[in-house]
Amino acid sequence: KQEVTQIPAALSVPEGENLVLNCSFTDSAIYNLQWFRQDPGKGLTSLLLIQSSQREQTSGRLNASLDKSSGRSTLYIAASQPGDSATYLCAVSFVSGNQFYFGTGTSLTVIP
């Protein structure tokens, strides 16, 4: 069974810091990887989608990288703001099977 792991489970940083969230997965044969943001009790907002053929994607202060061979993705957030406080989830679409697997998320708190 494929697995997706996110470390750390929680992270607290002062405003303005650059930070990195990690996602690892057990099978390098993937279609794509997607990063989401979830505010407490709310739905999932898609942040970035990286295809298996891509190495990175950028949107504003967010940059996501993908290293399929090592089974890793990172989400880089530049100049963090209190409004970035949320849970960040990565999800992987594996070639084997027809499912989309989620990590358990990293809860980020940005302190003003």
Residue matched to tokens 């697997």: 101
C-beta closer to another protein: residue 13 or 44: 44
- Give Cα separations from 71 to 31, 34, 65 (angstroms): 13, 14, 11
Q: How far is CA 51 from the centre of its chain?
A: 14
**Strands 86-94 and 100-102, how do they pair?**
antiparallel
Q: Is 89 in the site for another protein (CB under 8 A)?
A: yes
Q: Is 55 in the site for another protein (CB under 8 A)?
A: no
C-beta closer to another protein: residue 71 or 103: 103
> Contact residues for another protein (CB under 8 A)?
31-32, 34, 36, 41-44, 46, 49, 51, 89, 91, 93, 95, 98-105
